[in-house]
Structure 1
Amino acid sequence: MTPVLYLDFDGVLHPADVRVTASEPKRPRVYNGGSTNHPLLEHAPLLERILAPFADVKIVLSTSWVRVLGYEYTMQQLPAALRERVVGTIWQGELLQHPPRTRYDAIQSDANNRGVTRWLALDDDTEGWPDEQRYALIAPNNFWYGLAQPGVADELSQALALLCAGKPLESRLPQETHVPSTVERIFGLG
């Protein structure tokens, strides 16, 4: 089974606040209290470098750009090396007409429809992700830096290595260990 990376754009490949206007519906721009000249997809080359050792990884677009700007337009914004990996989007058919409540629901539904069992999501939207599935999500939490946020690129590389080696992604998260309370220690209950 081919490993899949579900890819979001906003908050991952560039800052999270991207908008289009009625006068320029096909010209998304980064905002920061107003329109800026900040480059879109500025971290795409970083993603290319991270994915380079993992030739088997395919990309499914989970970005809302597909719903707003269309699949072809969205794909064409990616550099060729990433575009070649794209095998589709979560926003098709029923999901396009009636989007699920959360991105997690949309990704899980798409993975089920595709029969994908080895997948990872790169997305800043953490709403609705069950704790027991967080291992499958790499989520930058700095809306401005996204993938360039310190530690995120390394986390993605490590998760991709596990995914491509067929190892459980659950192993990438720290395991909770029980630390006995003072009462447990005093009374020998721990």
Structure 2
Amino acid sequence: MNIALFGGTGRVGRAFLKTALEENRHVRMLARDPQQVEAHAQIIEGNARELASIEKTLTGCGAVVSCLGTDGNDTLTVAVPLIISAMKKEGIKRIITIGTAGILQARTSPDLYRFQSGESRRTLTRAANEHLNAYLSLKESGLEWTVVCPTYLPDGQLTKEFRVAEDFLPEDGKQISAEDTGYFAYKVLAEDLYVKKRVGIAY
């Protein structure tokens, strides 16, 4: 199965790409600047905010992985609905995206998202709202989606040892490396795990 990858130049995206290529997967990756990509993926030059670029990336693929971040703007709000539209046109059902632990449910107030509760230490909510918009678009899409939701992402190493929980952050979860997050996203895709679920990941 060929994989369409968005956001592959970020830390989590690079980790996902490394794992996918080590598993001998063929990856078609959209990049604004192909010179940033060192891995042996098939690079499509373009922008995730443009439908034509997304459609070109999806050609011949059986699944989509989006590691797009907020980039300080509305990239997710714009790109995710375009990806969903292009997937439906191409007949692709499976998509894995990287979210944030802020859009998981709060353990102390399960009717709230973590970023709306006292569980989140972040005072700025713009990025969380962007991730929430993406999640809600996926939830209403009819696609087979999974949103991987890491907590604090410091630089780290691949350990392949972490905890996960559906729709919540693992209890007392404080951090997770980009390397383990990317690895887990690949595992979710390869093993078809957590369909139509958000999944929190932390050490």
**TM-score range, shorter-chain basis?**
0.3 to 0.5
Using structure 1 for the length normalisation, give the TM-score: 0.45
Higher relative contact order (CA 8 A, sep 6+): 1
| Between structures 1 and 2, the one with greater strand share | 2
State the structure with more CA Rg.
1
